[in-house]
Amino acid sequence: MSRHIAHRLLISIPVLFGVLLIGFLLLQVVPTDPATVLAGPTATAADVEALRESMGLNEPLWYQFGLYIFRVLQLDLGRSIISNSTVVSELANTVGPTVELMLASLIWAVPLGILMGTVAAVRRGRVTDRIVMAFSVAGVSMPIFWFGLMLIQYVGFKMELLPFQGRGGPLWSIDGLRHIALPAITLGGVFIGPVARMTRTSLLEVLNADFVRTARAKGAPERRVVVKHALRNALIPIVTLVGLQIGFLLGGAVVTETMFAWPGVGRLAVGAIVSSDFPLAQGAILLLAVSFLLVNLIVDVLYAYLDPRVGRK
């Protein structure tokens, strides 16, 4: 297992380097000059040029990127151009809300998706199966921004059932649960469909296996056959899909946090890009990339745990 984890970590290094390079180059094509933004509207051309020189913006791109990598290795992500606070402190203030939103989305979406897929597999070809698959296709096809806007318009604005702006208190408080409800429903809503479809497909394959027929022949109750024998062996592709979808949830969190004014990393990244705060934008992109790689590593470990043959390859 340790060898498998070490191999995955080594693979992650060039991937992370590529993400840093692409993020660095993309921010270079933004037409706004960070020195102009930092100098302010009253600065002269000489002041802007002096500031560019002090920030190293006149150096070749390869030198700027090398210096950026050197600072990243020292966990020095620079200072925000807008707030003048360190990028690390800005990111630290937004990691908590993003993790809360991700967990709140997964807590209800993953079990519900597995339950729907299991019911559809057990009742294959019946009305229940068709209804579940119809909802799954609708969930896969539904844009996250449209679903969020519908919730804001009807649940938040017209019916005034739940707040739809900002973050309330801690999650263990009523106010915190009320504020996170709509963002979590929005983010998790597009997650249910793929999980339900994968659960149904994987479970149908396992239900036809020899060991399942043997368990039934021994007189085991159908519920025990499905839950204990079939579902556990069908979890490997489901875990893989959940891990991949969590990576996509990071992208969906950017949209969701922006719509609901949720103070997370995604909203911070959007604000930094719009205001041409390059150090903060690069830090947010780096954090999202590291989070995606970390999720993939956790999925690989779970995969090896569920199927020990993977860890021995």
pTM check: above 0.85: no
Q: Is the pLDDT of residue 23 over 80?
A: no
| pLDDT for position 162 | 85
Q: What angle do CA 32, 37, 42 make, to 5 degrees?
A: 125
* pLDDT reported for residue 306: 61
More confidently predicted of 300 and 149: 149
Mean pLDDT of the chain: 80
Higher-pLDDT residue of 225, 161:
161
* 3-state secondary structure string across 185-231: HHHHHHHHHHHHHHHHHHHHHHHCCHHHHHHHHCCCCHHHHHHHHHH
Q: Hey, is 77 helix, strand or coil?
A: coil
* pLDDT of the residue at 5: 67
Give mean pLDDT, residues 71-76.
82
Tell me how crowded residue 304 is: count the other CB atoms within 10 A of its CB.
Answer: 18
Q: At what angle do helices 235-259 and 278-306 cross, to 10 degrees?
A: 160
Confidence of residue 309 (pLDDT cuts 50, 70, 90): low
> Which has the closest alpha carbon to 77: 295, 268, 250, 235?
268
**C-alpha to C-alpha distance for 15 and 201, rounded to whole angstroms:** 31
Average pLDDT over residues 87-92: 88
Checking if the pLDDT of 77 tops 70, the result is: yes
Q: How confident is the model at residue 303 (pLDDT cuts 50, 70, 90)?
A: low
Phi, psi of 79, deg, nearest 5 = -120, 150
**Axis-axis angle for helices 174-207, 235-259 (nearest 10):** 150
More confident residue, 7 or 268: 268
More confident residue, 216 or 269: 269
Residue 310 has pLDDT above 70, yes or no: no
Over the stretch 126-165, which tens digit does the pLDDT of each residue have?
A: 888 888 888 888 877 888 888 888 998 888 888 888 888 8
148, with CB counted inside 10 A (0-12, 13-18, 19+), is buried
Contact assessment for residue 186 and residue 249, using Cβ atoms and an 8 Å cutoff: no
The secondary structure of residue 32, as a DSSP letter, is: S
Which of 17-26, 90-99, 108-117 is predicted least confidently? 17-26
pLDDT tier at 304, thresholds 50, 70, 90 = low
Per mean pLDDT, which of 203-207, 223-227, 246-250 is the most reliable?
203-207
Q: What is the mean pLDDT of residues 207-225?
A: 73
